[in-house]
Structure 1
Amino acid sequence: MSYSDCEYYVEKNLRGEDLSFEEALELFELPLPVLGKIADEIRRRKCGDLVTFVIGININYTNICISKCKFCAFWRDNGYVLSKEEILEKVGKAVQRGATQILMQGGINPDLGIEWFEDVFRAVKEKYPNVHLHSLSAPEIHFLAKKEKMSVREVIERLREAGLDSIPGGGAEILVDRVRKKISPNKVDSEGWLKVMETAHKLGMKTTATMMFGHIESNEDIIEHLFKIRDLQSKTGGFTAFIPWTFQPENTELYEIIKEPVPPTRYLQVLAVSRIVLHNFRNIQTSWLTQGLEIATLGLVFGANDFGDLMLEENVITATGKEFKPLDVEKVVRVVKSMGRPVAIRDTYYRILKRL
C-alpha cells in the first residue's frame, strides 16, 4: 500500500466521511504495521498525544442472571445480591483511593425492580454527591422496562432522577442478531440495545459503546457492529467513547468450541480498524483488563488514546479465571511516559482533572 493509499483513509476519517462496507472490510487485508500506522496517524491528528484514564470501581451488585449468556462465566441461578450497605462501603473505599466513576453492573436479576436501583442510587449520591454513577448496561435497562411495564424512556428518566449520570456500553457484544442468537439468545437484540442508547442520548445522557469479539463473529460482523454505532453517533452524538475487548473463554459454555482468547495481533487489528471506521468517535479505549499492560500500551499506537478505567474492583472477567490486579496510577504514568506521551487523569466525560 502506498503512502497516498494510507492518507486516503486518514483524510476520509478526518473529514467525517463514512467508509463503504467494502472499504472497511478491506482494512482487514492490510499488513498489521500499515493498519497501525493509519490508525495512529488518525489518533495523533484527532486527539493529540495526551493519554487519559479514569479512576473508578466496577461494583457487580448481583451475579443472579436469567440471560445465561454462553460467553459469560459470572452468572448463577442462585447467587448473591449486595446490600445497599455493602455497596456504600465499596463506594466509600473507592472514593478514598481517588475514584470518581462508579460503574455498577450485574446480572439480569428478575427479583430486582426499579425501586431497588432508585434506592441504591439515591443512597450513593446522598453520601458521595461528587461521584459519577456510570451504571447499568442497555440490557439491564431494557429488562427493567419490560419488568415494570414502562417505556425505556421512563426507566432512564426515573433512574436519572435517582442519581444515574451516564450509561456504560456493556451488553453490546456483537450487534448482529445472527451472532447474538447463538451466544446470548435470552438477551436484548441489536435493535433493543441501540434503542436504549438512542433514548438516553435524546434525553441528554451520555453513554459509551463496546464490542466483545474473538468468539464466533466474522470480519463482516465486526464491520456491521461498527457501522451501527457509527450511524447512531452521527444521529445523536451521544457516545463519549468506544471500547473493543476480547472474549475470555475459560469457565464459559463457549469453551467447548473456543479454547483460547484471540492473539494480541487480532486485538490490535480490530482496535486499529475501529479507529479508522469510527470517524465520529474521538475517544477509543485500549483494554488492559483483557490484554494486560504490555499489549494495552501497544494499543496506544494502534489508535487508542485512552487507558480506560483503572478499576479498583472487577468480578466478571475474573470469573473466567483471568488474573485481575487493579492498575495503580504510578504504573500507568510510568508506561505511558516511557513512550514519550503525556498522561492525565480524566472524568467520565473526558474532562481533564489532573495532568501527571
Structure 2
Amino acid sequence: MSIAYNKDYWFDFLKDNEIKEKDAHELLNMDIYSLMSLGDSLASREVGDKVSYAVSYNINYSNFCTASCPICAYYVPYKIKKYNPEKGFELSVEDVHKEAMKAKELNVTEIHIVGGFNPDLNLEYYENIFREVKKVLPDITLKTFTIPEIDFIARTTGNSIPEVIDRFRKAGMDAHTGGGAEIFNEEVRKQITTPEKISGEKWLEDAKLIHSLGVKGNSTMTYGTVENYDDIINHMVRLRDNQLEQPGFLSFIPLKFSIENTPLYKMGKVRMPASGDKDIRVYALARAILGKAIRNVSVYWVALGKELAQVALMSGGSDLVGTAFSEKVFGATNRHTSGSVEELNHLIEEIGKVPALRDTFYNIKEYY
C-alpha cells in the first residue's frame, strides 16, 4: 500500500516529525474516512478525548468599518456614517455596561470584544469600555480585538503597537482574538478583503510582536471562499512556523465562510458553502500540520452548525470555542449563534467525548 493512503504510517510519522508542505498534499490522497480517523487519532494523542469550551459572551462595539471586506455581512461602510448614522452603531460606555450586566447573569468566563475599523474611536474609548467590563466582572477574562483591529487602532491613533498593547493591558485586556488572518495567499486575499486590512505577512509579523509583549490569543483561517488546498496548507504551515519562532497562539480556529448576505456571494464569486468533505479535510490537515506547536484545534460550531461541528470533532477538532452568547458577526449571515452549556455538553457526549469547561488559556476548570 502506498504511504499516501496509510493512516498508520502517518500516525507514527507525525509523532516525531513536522510535516512539510509537499507532504501535507499526500494526506489529501487518503480516502475521507481514513483521513477523518487519522485526525481523530492525532487529537486523542495530543489532548485526550475531552472537548473543551469557554462560557463566552460577545460584545461588538461598532459596525461602522472602513475596510468593508467582501466576506463580511456585518459591516456598515464608514462613509455612510456622516450622512446616515442610524444605519450603523457605536456603543457608549453605558451600552457596554448593560451588555456586561447581561453577561454577568449568564455566568460567563470570557468576554469577547471585536468591531469594525472605526477611525472616530480613540484609545480612551477602548480603555473606558475595558474598564467598564472589568468593573462589572472583575474576574472575567477580556479577549479583545483581531490582529488587524490592533494594527488599525495603532495606525489611526498615531501610536505603535507596543504602546497600544501597554495601554490596553493596563485597562484590562487579557488576550487577543486572533481573527482577521483570512488566507495568507495575497492573490486570494485581494479578492476577499480590501487594502484597509493588513497583508497576511503583516498579520504574522504583528502576531509575533503582540505575543512577545505577553498577550496571547488564537489563530484563525477563513476557508470556503476562492482559495484552494495549496492556500490552506500554506496558511497552516506558516502559522505553525510563526508559533515555533514566537509562541503565543493558544489555538487554531478554521472559520468556514458563511455566504448569506455577503458581498462575495452577491457578486457571484462564491455560490455554495464549502462541502462537508472539505470541512473534514481542513480539520484533519490542521491536526496533522500543527502537531505539537498548536495543540488546540477549535471547532467554531457557529459557522459549521452543530451537526457538522460533531463531525469536525471526530476529524481532529478538540474544542468548541465557546457558547458565543450575543454573537452578531456570523449572526448577520443568518446563523444560529448561541448555545447553552447544556446544549454543548449534549453535543459532545453524543459523539462519545468528554465535555470540559475551560478558561481562555485552555486550563480545564471542570469536567462534566
TM-score by length of 2: 0.93
CA contact (8 A) 1:121 1:164 kept: yes
> SS at 1:134's partner residue?
strand
CA contact (8 A) 1:64 1:76 kept: yes
Q: Which residue of 2 aligns with 1:134?
A: 143
Q: Which residue of 2 aligns with 1:154?
A: 163
Whether 1:307 and 2:316 are equivalent positions in the alignment is: no
Q: Which residue of 1 aligns with 2:12?
A: 11
Separation (CA, whole Å) in 1 of partners of 2:261 and 2:323: 24
CA contact (8 A) 1:200 1:207 kept: no
Cα deviation code 1:64-99 (max 9, x no counterpart): 000010111111123100111111211221122121
Match of 2:19, as an amino acid?
A: L
Separation (CA, whole Å) in 2 of partners of 1:95 and 1:28: 45
Match of 1:134, as an amino acid?
A: K
Separation (CA, whole Å) in 2 of partners of 1:196 and 1:88: 30
Shift of 1:325: 4.3
Separation (CA, whole Å) in 1 of partners of 2:352 and 2:233: 32
CA contact (8 A) 2:182 2:222 kept: yes
Separation (CA, whole Å) in 2 of partners of 1:341 and 1:14: 22
Separation (CA, whole Å) in 2 of partners of 1:20 and 1:272: 15
Match of 2:228, as an amino acid?
A: S
Whether 1:62 and 2:49 are equivalent positions in the alignment is: no
Separation (CA, whole Å) in 1 of partners of 2:13 and 2:217: 25
CA contact (8 A) 2:188 2:226 kept: yes
Match of 2:274, as an amino acid?
A: V
Shift of 1:207: 0.9
Shift of 1:9: 2.4
Cα deviation code 1:239-278 (max 9, x no counterpart): 1100002111121111122122112221111111111110
> SS at 1:104's partner residue?
strand
Match of 2:310, as an amino acid?
A: T
Whether 1:105 and 2:114 are equivalent positions in the alignment is: yes
Number of aligned residue pairs? 354
Structure 2 unpaired stretches of 5+: 82-87
Shift of 1:6: 2.0
Q: Which residue of 2 aligns with 1:170?
A: 179
Tell me how large the CA RMSD over aligned residues is.
1.5
CA contact (8 A) 1:245 1:267 kept: no
Regions of 4+ moved over 4 Å: 1-4
Moved more, 23-32 or 235-244: 23-32
Q: Which residue of 2 aligns with 1:143?
A: 152
Map 1:160-309; keep pairs closer than 5 Å.
Answer: 160-186=169-195, 187-255=197-265, 256-279=268-291, 280-309=293-322
Q: Percent identity, aligned pairs only? A: 35
Shift of 1:333: 1.4
Structure 1 unpaired stretches of 5+: none
Q: Which residue of 2 aligns with 1:20?
A: 20
Distance 1:225 1:325, change over 3 A: closer
